Structure formats: C-alpha cells, structure tokens
Amino acid sequence: MRSESSNTRAGALARLGRAGAVAGAVAVSTLVLAASPASAADQTKSFQPVRKTEHALIFRVRGVMPDRVIAAWTRLRGRGGKGHAVEHRLSVSRVRSAARRRGLLRVSRPRSIGGGRLTVQLAGASQPAPAGASQPAPPPSGCEVDPATLTAVGCSVLRQDTATATNPEAGLWGNIESAADSRYQHLSSGGDPGPMATAASQGNVAYRRLTAIDGDNFWGERCELGRNEHRYGENTGSQTAGTFALYRAGDHKLTFFSQRYPTSFPTDATGWQTVMQMKQTQPYDYNGGGGPVLELQLWQGRLYLQNSWSVKWSTTAPAKSVWIRYALDVVYSTDPAVGSVTVYVDLNGDGDALDAGEQSPQIHTQTVVSETADPAGQSSDTDGITPGQPIPDHLRIGIYHNPSISCPSPGCSVDVDNVQVVG
C-alpha cells in the first residue's frame, strides 16, 4: 500500500485557493487549543471551517497575533472519513494576512475531500533544556562525532549507502519519491571524496542526484529517497517494501550524510525548502501537530533545523559546488526532556565542523511523536500503532520545497552521497 494515501494524490489537494473575502460566511467558528502543542515553547490553534463550498473550505483566522505565526497547515480528510488524512502547509504570509484582517482564508478542496482542519503554529518563548532529565544509555564508549574529521570511529554502522548500487531502492531506500524515476540519476564519478563515519574511504566515487522540476507533484514538489512506511522495517537484500532507516524512541543514533548543491541551487529562495527529514512514518493517525518531527531546511540564505515546523537552530547556508558533510547526533524520545539533537555541518567544505556556525548546541526537544486515537474508533485502527505509542521516524533525503520556488527544466538538484547511520 502506498504510504501517505491509498486514493488520491496530494497534488490536487495542494492547489490552494486565494485568500479573500467570501460574502455571507456563516459567523460560527470553533477554536480549539491543540492537546499536544508542537513543542513546549510553541502553541498551536486549530480551526474548523466556518463554511464549505463545493470547491473550498473557508476558515476564519481570529484570535491569532499575525507576527507570531510561524507555520500553518491543513489536514484534509476524504469524504466519509475514507483514506488517510493528508497534511499540507500553507504560506505563512497568507495566514498572517488573514489574521491581520481577522478574515477568511479559502483553501481549495477537490471533490474527494470531505472536510478538514486548519492549524496555525505560533512562536512561543524559547525554553531552556530541562534539568535533571534522565537520559537513555549512551552509545558505546567512543561513539561520538569527532568534529575535526566528521567521523565517529567508535560506533557500529547500522545503515549505509555510498551509492555503489545503481538502484537506490532495493535493500536501501525502498522508493524514489519523485514525479518520475527519471528525476533520479546515478553518477559514476564526482562523488564525495570524504571518509565514511568509520573514517575509512568509501571505495567508490559514485553518487546520487535528485531533481525537482516546476510542476512536479509527488505529494508536493519533491524528489526524495526514502519510503514513508514503518510496517516492513529497514530494507535488506532486494527488499523495497521497507524504508532505509527507522529511528525509534529510546534510540541514540548518529546520522552522517553528504550533499552538494550546484551553483544554481536556490539557497536564497523565499519559500521553505527541505533537504533532509527524520519524519514520523506512515501509516498513523497522529494529529498532534504538523510537519516532520525533525528536518533541515535550506532557504533565505540559511540552514534551519526545524522540529515540527518550529525553528530550533539556524546558521549560514553551506557553500555551493562542494561536498558538504553533515552529522546529526540524536536521542530519540517523545519526551522533550530526554530527546535531543546536535547538528554538525561542514559549511565551508574543508572537512571539519570546527569553523564558525558549524555546530549547534545540544538542543533538547521532542524527536519522536506519539500516536493519537483513530478518529474512526480503535476497531478501525489498522496502522499497527496504538494511541500513545511512539511513531518511529524515517530518514528522507533530497529536495522538497514550496512549489513557488522557481526550478524550470532542467530543475533544481541535490547531490547525495556517503550516508551512514551509526550507533
């Protein structure tokens, strides 16, 4: 079964209508404080539609300070509750504009959609790392990122892809999630010359290239490696039903990967652009917030670490046309007092994470989300995750961005190589 939905493609759902006044809207709205804010510091507000038309859901955005809006998304459900709910981000500027006017926000819906909910995330005061929180057992002694070499020689390799195999799916990523498989290329030379996490050479110069072109639509404008499916584990042998890497509550793993951004890459884009996700893995019913629990975004000339669309850290965008090595040291937990993430990134491509802006602090945050109840009742809960259970994250890598970013043919590409998950 496809991971995010078994019926319609989200492309149709992604086409959003213009914000604008709608005459005669019913002056009834429901404002609910979400039970599980995206982070302890931030707040979300959810809105039911005040009106449905044949082609749109109309929301009234009120009780929201426009400048505090940092993310917004809709969660749309099929008619009769059929199919998985589908989440879509909305432009923050659109939502701010509606909030400023205390006005109406119109979101188009295809015929297959019965209803949905708008959630707006509001920035809160940042909170310090909780004191006295118990931590899971650390990885083996010596298993830690050495920022001078961007290696972790004391760790065991759990997952690896150095692009030796032409096919990235079998036994590895499971799926090329793009508008067409031709958006993926395997190139036999010019790969990352740097060492693996083990400090050994990759032993090859191959790499993978992922491209998105304007108009592409695979649940949005994207080309990523990674199957959004937790039920079949991590792929082995020729298996493709599973995914590349899963991260479960209680894990402490280090994830290394290298990316290269061509000179034409839209690092300065004014819309969001994701280059790596550790995202809660389908299928699930989770509705406690929007967005991947962890992701790296590259836009506005900055690299952002985001947690459920809340920015936790940012730094200058990495250099272009050179291989950029990343390492994320993550403790996976639903408890923000236990979960943590530290980012290492070789922004200038000189082989270390010792230059200015190349290391984040250790950031305490939720890194795994908890399942919520099946809205159709527990007798309908067939996704394998019961309410309250942690939903494993999975690794996705490539390009996924706001379709407003200009990427005419031949498109915008991210080169990927030298991936290891160690612990």
Minimum distance from residue 163 beta carbon to Ca ion (Å): 4
Minimum distance from residue 358 beta carbon to Ca ion (Å): 5
Minimum distance from residue 160 beta carbon to Ca ion (Å): 10
Contact segment (CB under 5 A) with Ca ion among 14-22, 35-43, 46-54, 413-421 equals 413-421
Number of helical H runs and strand E runs in the chain: 2, 26
Q: Quick check: 116 and 105 in contact, CB under 8 A?
A: no
The residues near 341 (Cβ < 8 Å, ≥ 6 apart) are 294, 305, 307, 312, 328, 329, 330, 331, 360, 362, 363, 365, 367
Minimum distance from residue 328 beta carbon to Ca ion (Å): 16
Minimum distance from residue 268 beta carbon to Ca ion (Å): 21
Q: Quick check: 38 and 309 in contact, CB under 8 A?
A: yes
Which residue among 144, 146, 214, 383 contacts Ca ion (CB under 5 A)?
A: 383
How many chain residues are in contact with Ca ion, going by CB under 5 A? 16
Q: Quick check: 290 and 38 in contact, CB under 8 A?
A: yes
Contact segment (CB under 5 A) with Ca ion among 76-84, 252-260, 267-275, 412-420 equals 412-420
Which residue among 29, 74, 162, 273 contacts Ca ion (CB under 5 A)?
A: 162
Minimum distance from residue 365 beta carbon to Ca ion (Å): 23
398 binds Ca ion (CB under 5 A): no
Contacts with Ca ion, 355-374, as mask; x by CB under 5 A: x-------------------
246 binds Ca ion (CB under 5 A): no
Minimum distance from residue 146 beta carbon to Ca ion (Å): 13
Contact segment (CB under 5 A) with Ca ion among 119-127, 142-150, 202-210, 260-268 equals 202-210
282-311 residues in contact with Ca ion (CB under 5 A) are: 285
Q: Which residue is nearest to Ca ion (CB)?
A: 191
Minimum distance from residue 352 beta carbon to Ca ion (Å): 5
Which residue, 181 or 350, is less far from Ca ion as judged by CB? 350
Computed over its alpha carbons, how large is the radius of gyration of the chain? 21
Contact segment (CB under 5 A) with Ca ion among 15-23, 68-76, 251-259, 414-422 equals 414-422
- The rounded distance, in Å, linking the Cα atoms of 109 and 56 is 5
Which residue among 5, 417, 420, 421 contacts Ca ion (CB under 5 A)?
A: 417
266-285 residues in contact with Ca ion (CB under 5 A) are: 285
Minimum distance from residue 125 beta carbon to Ca ion (Å): 32
Q: Quick check: 369 and 293 in contact, CB under 8 A?
A: yes
| Phi (first) and psi of residue 415, to 5 degrees | -90, 140
107-136 residues in contact with Ca ion (CB under 5 A) are: none
Cα dihedral 11, 12, 14, 16 sign? positive
191 binds Ca ion (CB under 5 A): yes
202 binds Ca ion (CB under 5 A): yes
Q: Which helix (H) or strand (E) element contains residue 125?
A: none
350 binds Ca ion (CB under 5 A): yes
Minimum distance from residue 356 beta carbon to Ca ion (Å): 9
- The rounded distance, in Å, linking the Cα atoms of 190 and 165 is 15
Contact segment (CB under 5 A) with Ca ion among 138-146, 154-162, 218-226, 235-243 equals 154-162
- The rounded distance, in Å, linking the Cα atoms of 351 and 162 is 17
- The rounded distance, in Å, linking the Cα atoms of 294 and 72 is 16
346 binds Ca ion (CB under 5 A): yes
DSSP code string of 368-421: SEEP---TT-GGG--SS--TTSEEPEEEEEEEEE-TTS---TT-EEEEEEEEEE
- The rounded distance, in Å, linking the Cα atoms of 327 and 332 is 15
Which residue among 335, 381, 393, 415 contacts Ca ion (CB under 5 A)?
A: 381
Cα distances from 231 to residues 30, 84, 161, 377, in angstroms, run: 36, 16, 21, 21
214 binds Ca ion (CB under 5 A): no
Minimum distance from residue 335 beta carbon to Ca ion (Å): 20
Q: Quick check: 390 and 286 in contact, CB under 8 A?
A: no
The 8-class DSSP code of residue 14 comes to H
Q: 176-178 and 221-225: which strand pairing?
A: antiparallel
Binding site for Ca ion (CB under 5 A): 162-163, 191, 202, 204, 206, 285, 346, 348, 350, 352, 355, 381, 383, 385, 417
